Amino acid sequence: MPTSNDNKNNPTVDLRDVFAAVSRRKWYIVIPFVLTLASAIGGSFLMESAYYSTTIMSYNNNPSLIKPLSGLVAQRGSGRMTSDDRRRQLAAMTNEILSSKVLGRLIREMKFDQNPQVEQEAQRIRSQNPRMPLDKIKMELLIKKMRESIEVEFAGQGQLRLGVYDKDPLVAQKAASRLTDIYIEERTLQDLGAVRSAQELTDDQLNKYESQLRVALEKKAAAEKDYLQLQIDETIISEENRKKIGAAIDEITSEISDLNRDEMALVGKLNTVGKLTPPSSSNLRSLKKQLGEDSRSLVNLMGKYVWSERVVLNGTIDLNRKLIAMEKEVERLVDEKYTNVEPAIRSDLRKYFVLMERLSFLHDHRASLKQSFSSVQQRANEIPVAKALLDQIDREVKDARQNLALFKQQETSNQLRQDIIHSANSRYQIIEPAVAPLAPAKPNRVKISIMGGILGVILGGAAALLRELMDGSFRKTTEVEDVLGVPVLATIPNIESL
């Protein structure tokens, strides 16, 4: 069962209290509401009236063209468009309509630049910036004003609505109509310019397209040669051959690892001998030189033959034979140099110096093999790149042939040129001309009155709430009990007659 403390800690809102508060503070609500609404309505009569005239044009008429040249004139408004596409298209067309070129023509033709108020404003700005031409300042002011008075929006699929505000309904009608005409003229001139420039086939242009085809064919021949060479070397760059080369490199790496361990063990045994100077002779140097040359020759053979072919195997066998000959020469030199040491130590010295020479050779040979393997791997990776390049050049050749045939066809087809010009001329049409508005579109007094009423209610409600919160008088017996801490025994009713 809830206690009185629980009720105090969890107060609830009584609608009767709310209505009572509203009744007490009704004038705090009514007066701001009335004043704000009256101000909004009165202010709307002080605003300058503006008339709005619109015209609707079609911009996606696509007369049929002969198929090869249907792309010479930009076909707009065709196909299904997403909302983002429509938004981008509307932004692009709005930028064209509100461009300085279009609005400049409209201002000059409508003689808006003869406005005395604009002249005075331009003079004022020029007094602050004397180097700026007066005509340029006037034009910038008028263009800015025109952009604020023009609205562009879609009226339907392939349709555009252009609207102009002005304090004179006839001026608004004429400006909307002329703005649409100017835009259509500018767009048609651009489209016709693109078509006519494509039609002007001189000998230089024809030579240009023939040259493009010739260059594309030469590039194709070179690409085919490179791709054919890679296909000839396919066995060398095959995955099987690369695995064998990689296995040989791994085998050498493993042998180097074993020799390093043996070297550490031998160094420990020979620490009493002193400084270990490797023996040398002209014969040893000659053998090492031949061994290095044979190693490089073997690596070069790997770029022409697969690892398992006889010529590579013979090169490997010959290399091992010369390596053994070098090791025997090292052993002979060690025996000559260390004749006074014990046989066991001399044996370890032979092993040590042979090991060092073998390690040196294996490091160089492994580096050469890795370089060769990298070259083979690179050639293997070049196959898909060469194929993609060849496909791309094939497309370039095809496009160059089509372009050459297209322009040759255009050069001899007068009817085709007439179809293109007719297409450019009929792409834009006015389907709803501008009319003089009968009533001003601005200010919208109904909307202003509604917004003023809403604002008045908000201000009045805020004032009533603030006044109620600042009122410290008691409204209920519970409030007295909470303050005094004792119960209320009785209340005296409000007797109007007293």
pLDDT band at 231 (very low <50, low <70, confident <90, very high): low
Q: How far apart are CA 293 and CA 291, in angstroms?
A: 5
**CA 102/CA 380 separation, integer angstroms:** 59
Rounded distance between C-alpha atoms, residue 59 and residue 427, angstroms: 6
Higher pLDDT, 119 or 3: 119
Q: Of residues 134 and 373, which shows the higher confidence score? A: 134
pLDDT of residue 80: 65
CA atoms within 13 A on the CB side of 353: 24
The mean pLDDT value of the chain amounts to: 77
Q: Which of 186, 220, 148 is nearest to 399 (CA)?
A: 220
Say what the pLDDT of residue 193 is: 66
Q: How far is CA 330 from the centre of its chain?
A: 67
What is the C-alpha to C-alpha distance for residues 119 and 135, in angstroms, rounded to an integer? 9
The pLDDT value recorded for residue 55 is 92
* Nearest CA-CA partner of 432 in 147, 169, 53: 53
pLDDT computed for residue 229 by the predictor: 63
Q: What is the pLDDT of residue 441?
A: 77
Higher pLDDT, 310 or 425: 310
Of 315 and 411, the structure prediction assigns the larger pLDDT to: 315
- The pLDDT value given to residue 306: 75
Which amino acid type is present at position 449?
S
